[in-house]
Structure 1
Amino acid sequence: MNTSESTTETGGDAQTADTPPRRGWRRWAMDTRPLRIPAYRRLWSSTIVTSVGSQLTAVAVPKQIYDITHSSAWVGYASLAGLVPMVVFALWGGAVADTVDRRKLLLVTNIGIAVTSLLFWAQAVGGLDSVVVLMVLLALQQAFFGLNSPARNASIARLVPARELPAANALSSTVMQTGLVAGPLLAGVLIPVIGLPELYLIDALALCVTVWAVFRLPALPPLGDGPARRAGVREIAEGFRYISGHKVLLLSFLADIVAMVFGMPRALFPQLAAQTYHAWGEGLALGVLFAGIPVGAVLGGLFSGVFSRARRHGWMVIGAVVGWGVAIAGSGLSGNLWVALVFLAAAGVADMISMVFRGAILLSAATDEMRGRMQGVFTVVVAGGPRLADVLHGTAGSLFGPRAAVAGGGALVVVLMLALAAAVPALRRYRI
């Protein structure tokens, strides 16, 4: 992306003049330069509200399904019911985002998600107690999310100068990770007080903030004066060909797949809590294990000034994925819950760094006409990788024990990432 493109789309707000270097503690703190741009600030501010609200629904749906069925298997089936439409519509939504005004697409899809949350609330208040209805609504919600996410992420490069993309990604990722921590905790507190249906209603009201913020954005039509583009199977396939022809983009996806598929051990947390860390209390141990990575990611975001100005984005991704693997392996080797927590938090910091620079590479290395499709694939990889990891780690944990599976997975991440970096120099050489 060139500088003139960014300043044009923000009415001159996304200035590219150098800012004075930060001194003292400010060098370490989160880089907030993108918040000087009104359009990005509106989009980011809305995320603060909706990141927590969306987690209320994410807790409420499986809770309601379990209350109806008393079966964890049905909770898993519901997750699959949401995954399939999300994958399909994220790929298609990426192609759509490259053909239409992204602001209009965001308006339509955010309204659709809000209406779905209202329908969740209505069925809960009405006492339908129907798993089928819940799964249909979940599939509809995830379809809207699949259409929304590529357009939202691709829009950032039109609102923020290229060199501030890492800082913008750090700001957005920190808010999302904070929601992953605060949302479930808030849901646990609110359910006994106001009841489960109201969680859906709070999410719907929070989404109204997002709709208003998107309405205030500038128009984001496709760049160029060429013929109108389509958004069909051919265009989706063209996106995959584009990835295969650009090694930096391909390696950024492969780095995330390696880290998540082989190094995300969340499926083993219940077994670790029950067998390895039970002396601290199984419930406490389980909560600590699940909170470790998001807490580390939030801390990494709060101190993102340390790394967000780095120019060698490729090396930052390589180092972050290797660091993730080392930290995950360390958590598996630890027999002490609190030592394992430190390692998981370190993994969260590494994951935040990886997210920041992989996102920056996707937005800066791809042309605007391809950014939507790149973000569609990115959404699929981010959502699908951990689910594949659940299957892989669950199987390995049953065969070799949970600690060996976690440690082995982390070590495998390190080996595979270093092998990729050595075999293909494009990622090592990439910088802005």
Structure 2
Amino acid sequence: MTGVKEARPRGGRRWAIDLRPLGVPAYRRVWLGNGVAMFGFQFTAVAVPVEMFMLTGGSLWVGLLGIAGFLPLLVFGLWGGAVADARDRRRVLLVGGGLLWASTLALLVQALFRVGSPVLLLVLVAVQSIAFAITSPARSAILPRLVPAELVPAASTLNFTTFTATSVFGPLTAGLIFATWRTDVGLPIAYAVDALLFTVSFWATLRLPAMPPEPDPDHAAIPRRAGLASIVDGFRYLATTPVLLLSFAIDLIAMVLAMPRALFPEVAHERFGGGAAVGWLYSAIAIGSMLGGLTSGWIGRLRRQGLALVVAVAGWGLAVAAAGLAGQLWLMVVLLGVAGAADLVSSVLRQSMLLIYAPDRMRGRLQGVNTVVVAGGPRLGDLRAGGVAAGFGAGVAWVGGGLAATALAVLLVVAFPALLRYRAAAAPAADRD
């Protein structure tokens, strides 16, 4: 095992983000590769909607990109989790990464040759979503094999903080490309940057050791298969573990009832006169998550993680509700930032509990469920917010959603207190490459 010295943090180090996982070479390479690749992906995330709007001149086709990305994620996220439990996870990452890389190169080629097909864009976005759904469960499930169990919360925090940082700075950098060059020139540049930066992630995956499934002591003689029965088995296990089931449930409640982003354009226009206000609203939650991650050294020392998770979800809902009442843009941005910081805490705690509580043989499938929940919850929240706003106004949809999410999450864990009683286990560290 790669040794990581334990030291009692002092002063500001109690709050600063815990960097000890970076002392493990395998994790450090994966973290660097994923961070660079996520930054590059933001260029494509901006370029595809820009190209679609340029081709069609309407927002309907841009909206269809969301459906093209979500439906494959819903199906292949669950299957990808089963594959991660039945196959060598390094090989899964390589195959899925190759598919993701190929789809990005296809976007580059069609932009260079100016194919101009909205349908082709939808197809390529769907392929990218399939590749992401296959790789995401495996990428998360390998974490406990890379670092000691006591460093899993810190490693999860580093991952989430890096993702939110790329979500802030990636789109801003992509915007500079389109501000500097014409759209037809900027599109291939953006896709080329994404394809080039993804090579770092592919290199990091190639450097990983083989990660075949660990033997199941209860069914050692039965070969694992990545089929429907395996997926059902994962749901059956989840149904018998109230701690994990409740952690998924309150996250869904938080995202479906309290995600306000579908209301940002309307609120920015009506309260703040449009303009740059909408950009600040869309970036506020990610900025809060990033700052929360940079001051997250205390999260790894929490023992009553279940209670802290509930407090973080309640804090998210209350901060969102308060932001909906704000009449000044700066105050709304600050409160959304507070909500983003609470979301960072809840995400890290839920991921850490999932990785440590679940046995290795189930981690892929549960990460598949997590992928669907994390990706699907906000999209359902967009639908909920838009529907309620159409009937009762944006204020009711925003403030009422935040308050309802807090109340329902608290009622759920009071009625089923297994999550409140959960404490971080001092799992023994195993040898890791």
**Fold shared, TM-score > 0.5 on shorter chain:** yes
Alignment-derived partner of residue 186 in structure 1: 173
Q: How many Å apart are 1:307 and its aligned residue?
A: 2.3
Does 2:246 correspond to 1:259? Answer: no
* Structure 2 CA distance for partners of 1:197 and 1:267, relative to 1, 3 Å: same
Aligned counterpart in structure 2 of residue 31 of structure 1, from 1, 18, 28: 18
Alignment-derived partner of residue 270 in structure 2: 275
Aligned counterpart in structure 1 of residue 240 of structure 2, from 245, 255, 264: 245
Deviations 1:137-189 (A, max 9, x none): 11111101000000000000111222211111100000000111111111110
Alignment-derived partner of residue 224 in structure 2: 229
Alignment-derived partner of residue 137 in structure 1: 124
Deviations 1:163-220 (A, max 9, x none): 2111111000000001111111111101233511111111111111001001111221
Would you say how many aligned residue pairs link Structure 1 and Structure 2?
416
AA aligned to 2:227 is G
Does 2:203 correspond to 1:216? Answer: no
Deviations 1:92-150 (A, max 9, x none): 00000001110111111112111111110000001100011111111111101000000
Q: How many Å apart are 1:426 and its aligned residue?
A: 0.8
Q: How many Å apart are 1:245 and its aligned residue?
A: 0.8
| Aligned equivalents of 1:50, 1:431: Cα separation in 2 | 34
AA aligned to 2:48 is V
Matches within 5 A, 1:324-403: 324-403=316-395
Give 3-state SS (helix, strand or coil) of 2:348's partner. Answer: helix
| Aligned equivalents of 2:384, 2:237: Cα separation in 1 | 29
Aligned counterpart in structure 2 of residue 80 of structure 1, from 51, 54, 67: 67
Alignment-derived partner of residue 157 in structure 1: 144
Q: How many Å apart are 1:252 and its aligned residue?
A: 0.9
Alignment-derived partner of residue 77 in structure 2: 90
| Aligned equivalents of 1:308, 1:268: Cα separation in 2 | 34
| Aligned equivalents of 2:147, 2:139: Cα separation in 1 | 13
Which portions of structure 1, spanning 4 or more consecutive aligned residues, are displaced by more than 3 angstroms? none
AA aligned to 1:81 is A
| Aligned equivalents of 2:3, 2:352: Cα separation in 1 | 16
Q: How many Å apart are 1:266 and its aligned residue?
A: 0.2
| Aligned equivalents of 1:248, 1:99: Cα separation in 2 | 24
Aligned counterpart in structure 1 of residue 406 of structure 2, from 391, 408, 414: 414
Runs (5+) with no aligned partner, structure 2: 425-433
User: Please, what TM-score do these two structures have when normalized by structure 1?
Assistant: 0.94
Q: How many Å apart are 1:14 and its aligned residue?
A: 5.7
| Aligned equivalents of 1:89, 1:405: Cα separation in 2 | 32
Question: C-alpha root-mean-square deviation of aligned residues, in Å?
Answer: 1.1
AA aligned to 1:265 is P
8 Å contact kept, 1:14–1:159: no
Runs (5+) with no aligned partner, structure 1: 1-11
| Aligned equivalents of 1:176, 1:386: Cα separation in 2 | 16
| Aligned equivalents of 1:219, 1:362: Cα separation in 2 | 22
Alignment-derived partner of residue 405 in structure 1: 397
| Aligned equivalents of 1:83, 1:324: Cα separation in 2 | 24
Alignment-derived partner of residue 428 in structure 2: none
Does 2:196 correspond to 1:205? Answer: yes
User: Please, what TM-score do these two structures have when normalized by structure 2?
Assistant: 0.94
Identity rate of aligned residues, in percent? 48
Q: How many Å apart are 1:236 and its aligned residue?
A: 0.6
AA aligned to 2:146 is L
Q: Which moved more, 1:301-310 or 1:119-128?
A: 301-310
